[in-house]
Amino acid sequence: MFSGNLGQSLQLYFVDGKPDGIVTAEVFNWSGQVLVTPRTRLKEALDRAASGYTGVYLLLGEKDGKPFAYIGESESIADRIRSHEAKKDWWTSAVLVTSTGNGLHKAHVKYLEARLVEEAKKVGVTLLENANIPPKPGLSEAETANMEAFLAFLFLVLPAVRLDMFVHNTRPSSSVAVEAQSVSAPKGSAEGVKFVIATQKHGLKAEALVLDGEFVVLAGSQARLEWEGQEKATSGYATLHEKLRQSGVLQPSGKHCIFQENYAFSSSSAAAAVVYGRQTQGPTAWRTSAGQTYKEWEAAQLGS
């Protein structure tokens, strides 16, 4: 069974030699196969043998400028996607998930479909055409464990092919709280260091920890109610602010938003931008209780 503590080797194959063309992805010792194709290369993708296997699929695109997706299953993915090609015009790419030797059966893929919809709704950053979570079929205990192991590998592969709709950036309160209780200033360790943004001008206060290599803003921290920056149309951070509002991680409260959960950002600047509601230099915005900036702290870590 897959363990997140073990390294894994991923093989990506660019079928037509182009990064935006048809791509297949496989992991050593995993029976799953993932194929990603733009809609413009759909015929070539569906001509491949694995496309006719039993499996699950995702249609990806946008509606009203926001990420949109549909998750389905079929005993012949190619046949099902051909029917969607005629009925759904919003999607621009597809992800097909099958197994070597066509090893998945109908109950397997119905279980995978239900779990994928469930996880996508939990993350909440992508709107789904699926209105409800499909019921899970009655698999045995062993088969359920096998499908959960299959999903663990799939959730490892999908971000590598630039599909982040199943990535959970929220973090459990219990494990983060333990770190927060005992740390207030850097002591030479790269983990558990608390940083703060506190500004009287905007009435904001936010706290964050560096944990497991991630910059985690703590639940209860404040952020601007709306994105205030001039570059809203082009800023990825503005989009992130809106996604966190949509998913409920940020909840409006008076003049601010409040982080309802601990949230892991890709960088200190991403975290600071969401807090301030505008482009912000995170390395100088975040400080320890002793006044050391994140940039100064990071330099000290490299020096030591």
Identify whether residues 123 and 204 lie together within a single domain.
no
Cα–Cα distances in angstroms (integers) from residue 35 to residues 45, 92, 122, 166, 250, in the given order: 8, 14, 24, 17, 34
* 1 is a domain residue: no
How far is Cα 69 from Cα 59, in angstroms, rounded to an integer? 5
Phi, psi angle pair for 146, to nearest 5°:
-65, -40
Identify whether residues 192 and 286 lie together within a single domain.
yes
34 and 50 Cβ atoms separated by less than 8 Å: no
The pair of structure tokens assigned to 254 is 């008076």
Which has the closest alpha carbon to 120: 43, 56, 209? Answer: 56
Burial 55-82 (b: 16+ CB within 10 A, else e): bbbbbbbeeeeebbbbbbbbeebbeebe
Q: What is the pLDDT of residues 127-172, one digit of tens each?
A: 899 989 999 999 999 999 999 999 999 999 999 998 988 988 887 7
**β-sheet bridge partners, residue 24:** 13, 35
* 192 is a domain residue: yes
**β-sheet bridge partners, residue 67:** 62
Identify whether residues 193 and 286 lie together within a single domain.
yes
Instruction: Examine the fold and report which residue of 103, 134, 161 is the final residue of a domain before the chain moves on.
Output: 161
Mean pLDDT along residues 101-109? 96
* 3 is a domain residue: no
pLDDT interval class at 232 (50, 70, 90): low
pLDDT interval class at 234 (50, 70, 90): low
Identify whether residues 26 and 128 lie together within a single domain.
yes
Identify whether residues 157 and 20 lie together within a single domain.
yes
Q: Which residues contact 102 (CB under 8 A, 6 or more apart)?
A: 53, 54
Identify whether residues 273 and 185 lie together within a single domain.
yes
User: What is residue 30's predicted lDDT score, i.e. its pLDDT?
Assistant: 94
Identify whether residues 178 and 270 lie together within a single domain.
yes
How far is Cα 23 from Cα 4, in angstroms, rounded to an integer? 24
How far is Cα 65 from Cα 231, in angstroms, rounded to an integer? 16
The pair of structure tokens assigned to 104 is 């998945």
Torsion of CA 184, 260, 67, 104, to 10 degrees: 90
Q: What is the pLDDT of residues 185-210, one digit of tens each?
A: 334 444 567 999 998 888 899 999 98
Inter-helix orientation angle 106-123/141-157, to 10°: 50
User: What is residue 173's predicted lDDT score, i.e. its pLDDT?
Assistant: 67
User: What is residue 58's predicted lDDT score, i.e. its pLDDT?
Assistant: 97
Instruction: Tell me which amino acid residue 201 is.
Output: K
User: What is residue 191's predicted lDDT score, i.e. its pLDDT?
Assistant: 52
Domain count, the chain: 2
Residue 64, classed as helix, strand or coil, is coil
Domain containing 150 equals 10-161
* 2 is a domain residue: no
Between 131 and 94, the higher pLDDT residue: 94
The pair of structure tokens assigned to 186 is 């850097």
Between 112 and 86, the higher pLDDT residue: 112
How far is Cα 229 from Cα 242, in angstroms, rounded to an integer? 13
Identify whether residues 268 and 193 lie together within a single domain.
yes
How far is Cα 24 from Cα 95, in angstroms, rounded to an integer? 10
Identify whether residues 190 and 121 lie together within a single domain.
no
Identify whether residues 53 and 153 lie together within a single domain.
yes
